Every structure is written in C-alpha cells, then in structure tokens.
Amino acid sequence: MIITLKDGSTKEYAESKSVIEIASDISEGLARMACAGEVNGEVVDLRTVVDQDCELNILTFQEEGGKAAFRHTTSHIMAQAIKRLYPTAKLAIGPSIADGFYYDMDMENPLTTDDLGKIEAEMKKIVKEALPIKRFTLPREEAIAFMKDRNEPYKVELIEDLPEGSEISFYEQGEFVDLCAGPHLMTTKPVKAFKLLSLAGAYWRGDEHNKMLTRIYGTSYTKKADLEAYITRMEEAKKRDHRKLGKELGLFMMREEGPGFPFFLPKGMVLKNTLLDYWREIHEKNGYVEISTPIMLSRHLWETSGHWDHYKENMYTTVIDETDFAIKPMNCPGGILVYQSEPRSYRDLPLRMGELGLVHRHEKSGQLHGLMRVRCFTQDDAHIFMMPEQIREEIKGVARLIDEVYSLFGFKYHVELSTRPEDSMGSDEDWEMATDALRGALDDLGLDYVVNEGDGAFYGPKIDFHLEDSIGRTWQCGTIQLDFQLPLRFNCEYIGADGEKHRPIMIHRVAFGSIERFIGILIEHFAGAFPTWLSPVQVRVLPISDKYQEYGQKVLDQLKAAGIRADMDTKAEKIGYKIREARLEKLPYMLIVGAKEEEEGKVSVRSRFLGDEGAKDLSEFLEDITEEIKARKIREVQTEE
C-alpha cells in the first residue's frame, strides 16, 4: 500500500501497519508527539491499522484532533484518580471540550474545590506510572455484562442505547477501564501539564428530570509554560468580564424580565451609537446604501426563504389577523424584497444594501451569556447583489472593509475559507466558480487563510474572520457568505447587457457580527478603558474646590461646544478622591482647575495614558483631543498610575 503524507511525500509498505507504527517509521520524535491520526480526513486512533492506499496525517497537540485526544486522555486519567480516591464514584461521560475537558461523575459525597488538589496529586502518580493505554472491543451483550459487573450503571445505559450487534470499544489503563470511542494516546506518560479548574452540577444527559451529577472541569497542555499562560489568561479574562465591567461602568444590564434581551443604559447607548456612526461612515464611503426592513414578516415569506421549515425552532412567532408571522431571525428575506421593489439592470449592480437589523433568535436559557450570547441583537448586515464576474472584486472590497474595521480597534485576525459540503445545492460549475473567486480574492489581497474543506453552507462557500483580542482569545465575527440559492428561491432577476433576464448572485456579510456581542468583546479587549473616541465620557472637569466651579463651568461649556463628551465633578470632596473616582471610571482625560489655572486661563491635564500632562491652554487641549477623536486614535498607555 502507498501512504501519502501531508507534505505530499509517500511511504510504501508491503503489509498493513498501525498509525503509530507509521509515525515511528517517519521519525521517533514524531511518534513521541503523536496524539492521533487522520486517515483521508477522518480523525482516528493511533492504534488504527491502515491496510490500503490513503492520505495520512499524524496529529500532534498542535492540531485540533490531536489536542482533543490528549485532553480526552487527561479526562480518563482524572476519572481513574477519582475512582482510586472514591471507589463508589460512578462514571458518566468525560469528553474533551474547547479549552480542556470534563468528566461527569455520580459521587456519593459531593466534591468541594478543596478535593481538587488531592485528585491532581493522584493524577500525577498515574502519569508517573506511565500506564500503557490499551484498546479492546466486546460484543454488545458482553459489554453490558462487563459494565454491570463493574457497577457502572451509566455506562450500561449508554451501551444499551447502541444498536444490537455492535462491537463496543473500551480503553484500559492499569486497573481503569472506560467505555469509549477514543482516540487516545498510547500511554499516560505525556500528560504532564494539567490543572483541574472547577466543579459544576450537570444533569445526566442534560435532562433536568434526571439525577444531578458532579462535573469536574480541567485542562491540559504538553508544556508547563503553556498551561501557565492559559491560567494567566483566564485570570485576566475574569478581571475583564464584560458583565462585571458593564455594570461597574453603567453600560448595560440584564433583567429577569427579559432573559437574553439586553438593556442599554445611557453610557452604553453612547458607545453603541458611536460605533453605529462609524459603521455608517465607512459604509457610505464604500458605496453602500442603507435600508431598514420590518422586524416581523408573514409566514409566507419565511416559507419561501426556507426558514419556516429549517429554522423554526429558533424563531419567535405570533399571529396577526389570523395569519402566522415570525420575528425575523435574519435580515435577508426583507433585503430581497427591497431588491425586488423595482426592476434591476446590470447597470445597478453590484448593489450593496446595508442594514443594521435587529434580529431575534431563540437560545436555550442555559446558553445565554451577557452580551456574548443573547436572544436579540443588531446585525451589521449587508446584502450585495451582483453578476458572477463581479464576485472576486466584491469579496475583495468586503475583506478590505473588514480589515479596516478590525485594525481600528487594534485587533489581529485570521481568515478561514469554507468550501462545499457533501450535502449541498447548486451545480458543480457554480461551486467551482464561486470557490475560485473567493480564493482568488484572498490571494489578491495577500491574506493567509486556512481552508475548511466541506465546512461551507449548503447554499454557498464562505469566508470567516476570527479576531484576536488583547489577551489572545479569538472570536469569530465577520463573515462573507456567497449564496446562489436565495436569489433562486425568490426568483430575483436583472436585465443583462444582452437585454435578457439573468439571476444575480448574493453576498451576505457582517463585519462586527452582532453589535451587542462586539461591544462585549470591546469591553473585554480594552478592559473597559476605551479609546477616547469611543469613551462615553471623554473628559471630566475637576474643580479643586467650590470656589473654582464657575471657571470649571466655563471650561465645560467650551468642551461641549467643541462636541466633546464632558462632565464636571461638583461633589464637595477632596481633589484626590475625585481623581480616584474618575480613574475607576477609566475616563481618558481629567482637567483639574484651581486658582493658578483660572488666573492663566489654563487647565491641568491628567490622562489615562501619560498621567500628569501638565498645564495647557484650554484651546491647545481642545485642538489635541479633537484631533485624537477625529482620527479615532488609540493612544498608548505609558503610565501605570
């Protein structure tokens, strides 16, 4: 058989070999790092035997599939440690997740966080024992008997759910055996850097009628330094939690009366409107027109768009005059009605229609999270209608615009291209043309990108933008989605240069994604200390005492007249106290006014960036700050006061 490796090189073997044997044959170093394999795109166990020609990729911790196997193995090690310490604990499920793993256990006595250290110590022993991990299978009936024998009722239930006649796989390390589909590492030895993070309650099978189990969360890395960096990042994230800062800074609130429906407070509204002003400015500059379509539209429309059949679970509906209506979960169908409001010709294309559309989507209450996961949000949407030959240029235009937006906030980002999935609509020709155009646009722009084969929507390929915040977390925000299907469903047309009717192609795109979520990201990214142009309050005037309030008022009036968002602290407090308060509110500038300032017509400038900037003429300060706001600068912080 011939094995084609990731770099295109090949290996030839006379007989079948396991993935780990092939890894060893390539290099012992690679075999040591190997966590799983990937055969023809499918993640497999290192023990999987390959017996025919295939593409093989050895996955290390650097790849997602490898990371998952590594952490899944860590979850087994944790379960083994818990069984050693608490022999009556019953195993439920223990998968790897985005940043680590968990295991759900039925514990006789609930664990406390104090117990986590003890479990970690036992895990260290298991790692040191370097137990070989073995895989074996049993026929279903024997598997049930086996787990009954081991007194694991949850595992018995899981096996009973599997179809009759199936072979059930197990993984064994020392005295510990788990029902498991894998994949797993070869031994417990490589799992050297791990930490148990928290405890939570979780219903068996996520069903509230079932018993509440103990869920133990943890994470693991191949290197101590990476684990430590992760923990530091988590601590930093906790300090920056937008729910906490949003409350402290008076930006938004959530109420029981509207779960998942955020309230914006006056300062949050200033922030939101400032973002929207910026959005309108750059879209106008980039040749977009703005529209607004209704929040509620009739069932008939959602049937045409396909949402009524495929998305109804997530939609809120109501009845008006005996007709079903739905609150829009997306803006597209409304946008199409606007496209169809007049005959279109090739001269009108590309037609870029932006919409700051308020959409509602049902999310389970357990999934809600501050502004990051809500049930109603404003998409900074746009639909672009165009001819096939315009795709490449349009994609470039959108990608440039998104780049401009992210750069403004100091975000780095990476791009992913998702191609045709197996279950898709449209001709091969269309898909090829569209995917080539997307690739071509990214290449023209010199953007590096990852390709997610088969990850596109059924109606077209897409480009996603994942931005990286100041503490290294990534967030998917922007998307550019090509669509041949909706124009077809709605029978959209334009008259071509040939005088004939043609079908336009459509782009759906967002830059911020959801304005609400983007605000959540900005709060955490800046830790609440927004650039001056975004700050709800940009300047605070601080009179040293009551005597200087009159002069302070003059200063304030001039600031306001210049369009600066300013206020004055007139409390009968010492100046030091007022400064501390303004600092807690993370205000960019304070202007301190006393006798000397009044006499000379100056202000003493204290900023979040430089600390004491000294006395300046008010006119000079106004000039500087106006320039800073106009250019939407992010001033670097050079002081830790």
Which stretches of the chain bind Zn ion, using CB under 5 A?
Answer: 180, 332, 508
Active-site residue, 332 included: yes
d(CA 273, CA 281): 12
Reduced to 3 states (helix: H, G, I; strand: E, B; else coil), residue 632 is coil
Q: What is the closest distance, in whole angstroms, from the C-beta atom of residue 79 to Zn ion in the complex?
A: 8
Please, which residue, 136 or 263, has the CB nearer to Zn ion?
136
What is the SS3 string spanning 143-188?
HHHHHHHCCCHHHHHHHHCCCCCCEEEEEEECCEEEECCCCCCCEC
Please, which residue, 332 or 593, has the CB nearer to Zn ion?
332
Single-letter residue type at 613? E
Residue 306 phi, psi dihedral angles, 5° rounding: 95, -10
The answer for residues whose C-beta is within 8 angstroms of residue 623's C-beta and 6 or more apart is: none
The answer for residues whose C-beta is within 8 angstroms of residue 12's C-beta and 6 or more apart is: 1, 2, 3
Instruction: Find, among 176, 194, 222, the residue nearest to 76 by Cα.
Output: 176
Active-site residue, 462 included: yes
Please, which residue, 214 or 331, has the CB nearer to Zn ion?
331
Cis peptide before 343 (omega within 30 of 0): no
Asked if 594 and 587 count as a contact pair (C-beta separation under 8 A), the reply is no
Please, which residue, 193 or 332, has the CB nearer to Zn ion?
332
Q: Which of 17, 35, 283, 379 is catalytic?
A: 379
Q: Which of 47, 328, 508, 578 is catalytic?
A: 508
Q: What is the closest distance, in whole angstroms, from the C-beta atom of residue 470 to Zn ion in the complex?
A: 30
Q: What is the closest distance, in whole angstroms, from the C-beta atom of residue 114 to Zn ion in the complex?
A: 26
Reduced to 3 states (helix: H, G, I; strand: E, B; else coil), residue 498 is coil
d(CA 397, CA 411): 19
The answer for residues whose C-beta is within 8 angstroms of residue 318's C-beta and 6 or more apart is: 296, 324, 325, 326, 327
Please, which residue, 336 or 539, has the CB nearer to Zn ion?
336
Alpha helices in 286-370 (DSSP H): 299-305, 307-310, 332-339
Active-site residue, 464 included: no
Strand 54-59 with 2-5, pairing: parallel
Q: Which of 195, 420, 462, 540 is catalytic?
A: 462
Reduced to 3 states (helix: H, G, I; strand: E, B; else coil), residue 539 is strand
d(CA 315, CA 296): 11
Q: What is the closest distance, in whole angstroms, from the C-beta atom of residue 641 to Zn ion in the complex?
A: 47
Q: What is the closest distance, in whole angstroms, from the C-beta atom of residue 72 to Zn ion in the complex?
A: 6
Reduced to 3 states (helix: H, G, I; strand: E, B; else coil), residue 630 is helix
Q: What is the closest distance, in whole angstroms, from the C-beta atom of residue 494 to Zn ion in the complex?
A: 18
Q: What is the closest distance, in whole angstroms, from the C-beta atom of residue 311 to Zn ion in the complex?
A: 12
Please, which residue, 375 or 508, has the CB nearer to Zn ion?
508
d(CA 53, CA 3): 6
Q: Which of 83, 352, 383, 392 is catalytic?
A: 383
Q: What is the closest distance, in whole angstroms, from the C-beta atom of residue 178 to Zn ion in the complex?
A: 5
Please, which residue, 385 or 589, has the CB nearer to Zn ion?
385
Please, which residue, 508 or 608, has the CB nearer to Zn ion?
508
d(CA 415, CA 450): 6
Cα dihedral across residues 357, 360, 365, 367: positive or negative: negative
Q: Which of 45, 115, 178, 381 is catalytic?
A: 381
Q: Which of 332, 376, 477, 492 is catalytic?
A: 332
Please, which residue, 180 or 185, has the CB nearer to Zn ion?
180
Q: In 48-140, where do the E strands start and end?
A: 49-50, 54-59, 90-91, 96-97, 100-106, 133-139
Q: What is the closest distance, in whole angstroms, from the C-beta atom of residue 122 to Zn ion in the complex?
A: 18
Active-site residue, 383 included: yes
d(CA 42, CA 59): 11
Kindly list the catalytic residues.
Answer: 332, 361, 379, 381, 383, 462, 508
